[in-house]
Structure 1
């Protein structure tokens, strides 16, 4: 079961209405230009309407003069309150797809024309005396017979997990049944069921638990929390629920806050309520790609002989319940109260570079031996990581003995490395990239070197880069999966991995042969593009049969399925067919590692709060700290643009942006030099910009400014000096003064407790004239 999130994106080409919450078509998302073009063309033609709910008006495809787009300002970190107001109206006015929500399994959904299903009608144990309280009711809890487990396949590479059987109230019989046996279940059941011993168990459906959570406050209360007028919330709820399954919700940067899980769950629950999952014009899966770096039709690029198994605890403390750690068990054995943990553990998260940074600087849960940066700059991007106390600890050899960076630029994180390996830029390197949801069909784009790398030449057409560094080090220390006998082929032979093209060209061969193979490239096309000259040094990496098909893919920049073929009727062919959860048992069973209290299993409005449960307002009252911060993307500023003097001159610096009413109350005006001060220490000085496109109580700062490296300082290698362009360092870096959590010992960036998501938005700030 999934709780939602970023595996799903709107089908922009077919939707009638899209609600973007913390995301802008054309200003955020991947790929920005394609989404902008799709949204702009369809909205201007009148076939698509979309609204953007965000604290900052950032442009993109939103037009103040168009009748089909609208910007709605909202208080930062209150997205879940806004959506709960919408859901209140939709449920109260029966504007939800109750039929869809009552399908308790995929087969039942398919019979009615859907290819997704939910656990909305699954029963949850609410009985406080039951040993499985807060869990979904299973067949064994009440003695229901289940089908015999399938015989294990002795040839299978991995052990298959036995199916689980949950319980619903079958609508036809009014009695408990296996969720897999019912075609339609009671969505509104709340009451008792009887176990095999005759004992009653209090239960209710996932939908009822969600409804009760939403109805704890009314629309007026949610309006007050989020700053969006009650009438606007109702209007958007009406619009969203009036297009059948041709409506979608999307979010992005809004989930990077201490309430980020709530925001993510809220936007995906909206689409569940109307049944638009996997639907044409609804939300569809992204990253549907042809097989490349995978067990493919020609080569297995995911496995190799003697592949080692990994074990242990992730240093980011994410995805691991605190109760499973040695620390918890040791303290429990001593008879101590194990709460709070020394540092937060995030039980439902996944690997996180922002949390890894704070683990490293605190030496917890263990000391890092080697830290390696590649295609990342966490000191710049992680909120609070640019603080002096973080940088000071990272530079200590006893904290992390060895730092290696592989980078094409002297970035902030790279600058503290002991060793820097020069890396290539896009025109010099290989890559495979899949689609990001704006395209419904299978897509895999390929990139290949079109110019000679400017990095140092190692040997025969081999240049310094990340891939060659990994290959050479692995061969030197004997890591399996590299060298002359490395890549398994479909013909049971092993092929070499000694160069980047050994790997990437075999991935392209997989793409070419996935499903129905592509045709061979024609001789005319080879001559037209002079491919013989461009690729002659790589030709021997593939067989004579594979080469003309690989060239066919290379010449087109990838392989692209016709988007129209990605739908069967109005169902997405590549839809996620697992269970979508209104009630997330994994979350409900998880405990806050500081308070020991359980998280909510369903959508709930949470204020910004620190690890120990103290709310931000309790610690830093709004009267003293009236602003919340929002970091948004700048149009003319990214890593690749810093060396472009024309683009740099278009936007030489950013500003500290606030609403005109806030500026008036502070007696400030555009152009004033001001200080932005963080409640937990740290300040930044910048130029004030007063504009209507910022919500009240919000301070907006465009990301990408405030560098202290990337060519802003002079660097010297041997006798050669480079850099020293001071303008690159102009502007304000909001994440440099983002909040730390004062309830955690050591240095710890303010974060969301269940997943470890960084608090890039929100916090507590004030502004003073400098």
Structure 2
């Protein structure tokens, strides 16, 4: 890149330093080899200890010869949460996994992926030297994916059910028969000699309220909770058991203490803060990418795919450059990147200041994409050549004291006559100010651009109503601070900020901004919202080289073309208030009481109406009894005490007290920091022993579902019928014992309503596979005998034939043999798909693509006008008459999959999209102003949240700034966490990884170290207001001044670090697993709150681990 194009980053490069002293990787080569390879002499002087090849291919003829002693199977890796498709090599003699590589069919592991119809035999040849196919079709796994396979044979695995002996958390267990385990969990009793404990059967009260004075809390069954980690392809089964059958509302995963702040901020822009959609940069075609608070290849799923595409882009000939903005320099930017990349250091937790500065400059310099932003609906956007649209022109009521202040003006506000039940619903359109007519107009009746920066009063029934466009509100929010003030806040020079903004807006739509875990700060939600808004300002969504949502999944657990896995007789619809308080405080009985007493605010603790389920607030809330306590807790493969900053300090003692939480059941392959407090431990399948159907992350823009199937026999104890004990067998047994609906000999129905059994795991997953196989215009082909033999499916063929119908099992085998189902890689762009079915239309989103939105548009555009109203308001008004279905609408419904009438003419083929439009487009508006956010209030202060992106200084729940409580004079440093290139929260047991990276010295800038009189290798105490840990210092120029950086994945107390007694036997342990420090052990609580709590973002409720006040003292 030319010097003039790099000038905007020169100061940052000099100030931060592009060269980092990698103290944490300073182990000698000899020691590394000892740990990784072992000290024994290699088997061969020529090829060392390498394994015999799984197959060979003649380079001249392409003939395949398989190794009869090994098996190769395609399935899914769980070495991290990216869920890559992999090929697993297995020793047939002992069933041991030998090595893992990439699945060439999977877009997660190959670029481009192999055509889906390719036979398994040809897929092996495609990886070989024959015609140099292996160079173009390379498919790999990462180092961690290979290293963690030893966990399957770990001496620390839980392989049989265990029951605690003595105090909770004491590390003493006794074996328990599975039937007895199920009976005790279900029926309860005096299980531990500590008094009676209610079992799950007694706690399943579906009609008795938790508190008759607060019926909104829901029934007592909600006092049973289930905490999970992530959807590894099995969550639909858990959801069916726990919510739909058992009936509890409280099922939560780990998102709120992982990357939830980014996802919530993104959800605000995408208009869905519960499902939290997000988009990723199209790294194959982007010209400039700005990564903030994420290190591509290290963090921000999908790790491996992003790293691969980034490496290809760096090495390619096309125009491509990127910048990583982060407090710590990662391997995403290195000397190997050359002039393609730069690192810009930033103060932790201040990314929103950077983003809002860029937004201000872009607006002032008019470098936004006006053609994109002025389109008031999807139809006009498409006509203008845009693949997406926004609500930038929609008008918001900004009139203090008005009952709808902060809400979007609707047609009915401006005089449109609608039935009362339709006001402010889907049929009630938003309002824009039409450029052509210079009048207000229903947004979905507009046929051209609307005013982008509108700020004026319009008459309503003779009374003035002040309205501003969403874009005006964003501009005003950006203007709250000058560029100089923003630069001071984030520590990035003003010239660099301007340079970044100029570069981002110099590539049309082939530029992108991406963020992730670095948003987990005290103002993380708004930081993330501001960053993703930069993508909206350049209109890059759904465009090649811009940002893309994922392509979705082939749904296994829906109503299904073959089996109904969605609904069943006796199904429960959970109700009540979620334990994490991700609901509106204003709808609670507490609010009504406080309001009646004259002070509606504050609530006892924060509520989060704009958040999904929150694990961060679960356990503290339960211990506080707010909004209610838990009577039983199931932990499934999760570890919140390790992962939530400050949680162990807050509730560790309470978890050990059965009086505060009477029953804890854990399902996990290992004893971790949280389930060490369980009353019962149940083993679970691990890695390549499991079933499942998993989706892809936002970085994969084709539709796909990755298959998990037990390519090796599970190692856990077996039941009498041969089933391995695990999550599914436990829940199936509990369902049978408690006679829950949706399970048993007639637990499922096929598409014709015929009952089917749900008594074994494969009954669920194979029938879900049949649903996947038959989706779309045509079902997948049938697997050949050769496919079955080469993929190892012959071992489970009896299960396939016994579970599925004769016409189904080979189709499911076709998918399992290939490790899933994948849309053609070439269909990522330019393919027009049928619009979403009307049943999936989103309420409250007029102008979307759903049928309700279409009806709303018809009501505006086609109904008779009301002249008097039109004259008074200038709005093109309409009556409230309901629109009737038209033949065209019926045709559209047929295209959606709704059965057409007999003899109906099939819909015509739709023309393709433009070649640079994403096939799987997001067609709802990008929210420049989010109404739900803008009218919601802090349950503590009563103040409204900003409805647009904003820069907010990190603060506590009552608005007290973090630094006002913990001033820099006392806490001069800021503590951050960053993703490891090798480890994650559960990989520490892999000896090969520890051989390369045995611990995590905390990283400190040399200037800070000199001020403190420290050198690399010095022992120190790392302190925050939340606690103190002993650590080792490593000096790094690649760390922002004033920052202490802690690599995640170390500092374990369990996972094999501590010895446990099982019966009379002491289980092994390894002190090396305890090496290093865990930042979360010294996370903060919120000093402005009462009772147990952890410090969370005030909007999203997500954990804060970035930018914690800290200091270092010599040990």
Give the alignment's TM-score, normalised by structure 2: 0.66
**Deviation digits for residues 675-717 of structure 1 (CA, Å, limit 9, x no counterpart):** 11112x4111100111011111211101111111110010111
1:415 aligns with 2:676: yes
User: 1:402/1:102 Cα in 2 relative to 1: closer, same or farther (>3 Å)?
Assistant: same
Name stretches of at least 5 consecutive residues in structure 1 with no aligned partner. Answer: 151-159
Q: Secondary structure at the match of 1:267?
A: helix
Distance across 2 between alignment mates of 1:65 and 1:556 = 34
1:492 aligns with 2:753: yes
Q: Secondary structure at the match of 2:444?
A: coil
In the alignment, is the contact (CA less than 8 A) between 1:146 and 1:165 conserved in 2?
A: no
Residue number in structure 1 paired with 2:658: 397
Distance across 2 between alignment mates of 1:486 and 1:9 = 39
Distance across 2 between alignment mates of 1:342 and 1:31 = 39
Residue number in structure 2 paired with 1:744: 1089
Offset of 1:6 from its aligned partner? 4.9
Match of 1:457 among 687, 708, 718: 718
Offset of 1:161 from its aligned partner? 6.2
Q: Secondary structure at the match of 1:357?
A: helix
Deviating 4+ runs (over 4 angstroms): 61-65, 145-150
**Deviation digits for residues 137-196 of structure 1 (CA, Å, limit 9, x no counterpart):** 11111213569999xxxxxxxxx963331111011111111011112110011111111x
Offset of 1:269 from its aligned partner? 0.4
Residue number in structure 2 paired with 1:188: 453
Residue number in structure 1 paired with 2:1067: 722
User: 1:252/1:6 Cα in 2 relative to 1: closer, same or farther (>3 Å)?
Assistant: farther
Equivalent residues in 2 for 1:96-495 (5 A)? 96-145=368-417, 162-182=426-446, 183-195=448-460, 197-286=461-550, 288-318=552-582, 320-333=583-596, 335-387=597-649, 389-495=650-756
Match of 2:1108 among 743, 763, 767: 763
In the alignment, is the contact (CA less than 8 A) between 1:44 and 1:68 conserved in 2?
A: no
**Deviation digits for residues 653-677 of structure 1 (CA, Å, limit 9, x no counterpart):** 1112111121122221111111111
Match of 2:823 among 561, 569, 574: 561
1:653 aligns with 2:990: no
Offset of 1:582 from its aligned partner? 0.7
In the alignment, is the contact (CA less than 8 A) between 1:587 and 1:600 conserved in 2?
A: yes
User: 1:597/1:530 Cα in 2 relative to 1: closer, same or farther (>3 Å)?
Assistant: closer
User: 1:73/1:280 Cα in 2 relative to 1: closer, same or farther (>3 Å)?
Assistant: same
User: 1:114/1:322 Cα in 2 relative to 1: closer, same or farther (>3 Å)?
Assistant: same
**Deviation digits for residues 505-564 of structure 1 (CA, Å, limit 9, x no counterpart):** 111111111112111112222233353234323421111100111010000001111232
Offset of 1:589 from its aligned partner? 0.9
Equivalent residues in 2 for 1:608-647 (5 A)? 608-647=954-993
Match of 1:24 among 280, 295, 316: 295
Q: Secondary structure at the match of 1:404?
A: strand
Q: Secondary structure at the match of 1:180?
A: helix
Offset of 1:241 from its aligned partner? 0.8
Moved more, 620-629 or 606-615: 620-629
**Deviation digits for residues 609-667 of structure 1 (CA, Å, limit 9, x no counterpart):** 11111111111111211112111112232355322212112211111211112112222
**Deviation digits for residues 62-106 of structure 1 (CA, Å, limit 9, x no counterpart):** 556511111111111101100111112211111100111111111
Residue number in structure 2 paired with 1:45: 316
Q: Secondary structure at the match of 1:537?
A: helix
In the alignment, is the contact (CA less than 8 A) between 1:103 and 1:185 conserved in 2?
A: yes
Distance across 1 between alignment mates of 2:280 and 2:571 = 35
Q: Secondary structure at the match of 2:635?
A: strand
Q: Secondary structure at the match of 1:66?
A: helix
Offset of 1:29 from its aligned partner? 2.3
**Deviation digits for residues 443-492 of structure 1 (CA, Å, limit 9, x no counterpart):** 11101001111111112220110111111111211221111112222122
User: 1:537/1:64 Cα in 2 relative to 1: closer, same or farther (>3 Å)?
Assistant: closer
Q: Secondary structure at the match of 2:1030?
A: strand
Moved more, 259-268 or 683-692: 259-268
Match of 1:731 among 1060, 1065, 1076: 1076
User: 1:608/1:149 Cα in 2 relative to 1: closer, same or farther (>3 Å)?
Assistant: closer
Equivalent residues in 2 for 1:539-618 (5 A)? 539-568=801-830, 569-618=915-964
Distance across 2 between alignment mates of 1:684 and 1:763 = 14
Residue number in structure 2 paired with 1:502: 763
Offset of 1:46 from its aligned partner? 4.2
User: 1:257/1:723 Cα in 2 relative to 1: closer, same or farther (>3 Å)?
Assistant: farther
In the alignment, is the contact (CA less than 8 A) between 2:314 and 2:340 conserved in 1?
A: yes
Moved more, 59-68 or 516-525: 59-68
Aligned CA-pair RMSD: 1.8
Offset of 1:20 from its aligned partner? 0.9
User: 1:530/1:140 Cα in 2 relative to 1: closer, same or farther (>3 Å)?
Assistant: closer
Offset of 1:734 from its aligned partner? 0.7
Q: Which has the larger radius of gyration?
A: 2
Q: Secondary structure at the match of 2:959?
A: coil
Distance across 1 between alignment mates of 2:301 and 2:1068 = 31
Match of 1:3 among 269, 282, 285: 269
Moved more, 113-122 or 202-211: 113-122
Match of 1:664 among 1005, 1010, 1017: 1010
Moved more, 528-537 or 289-298: 528-537
1:34 aligns with 2:333: no
Offset of 1:219 from its aligned partner? 1.6
In the alignment, is the contact (CA less than 8 A) between 1:673 and 1:685 conserved in 2?
A: yes
Q: Secondary structure at the match of 1:386?
A: helix
Residue number in structure 1 paired with 2:862: none
Distance across 2 between alignment mates of 1:302 and 1:693 = 50
Moved more, 535-544 or 748-757: 535-544
Name stretches of at least 5 consecutive residues in structure 2 with no aligned partner. Answer: 1-266, 271-275, 831-914
Give the alignment's TM-score, normalised by structure 1: 0.95
Moved more, 243-252 or 284-293: 284-293
Equivalent residues in 2 for 1:646-725 (5 A)? 646-679=992-1025, 681-725=1026-1070
In the alignment, is the contact (CA less than 8 A) between 2:549 and 2:699 conserved in 1?
A: no
User: 1:352/1:287 Cα in 2 relative to 1: closer, same or farther (>3 Å)?
Assistant: farther
Distance across 2 between alignment mates of 1:539 and 1:258 = 54
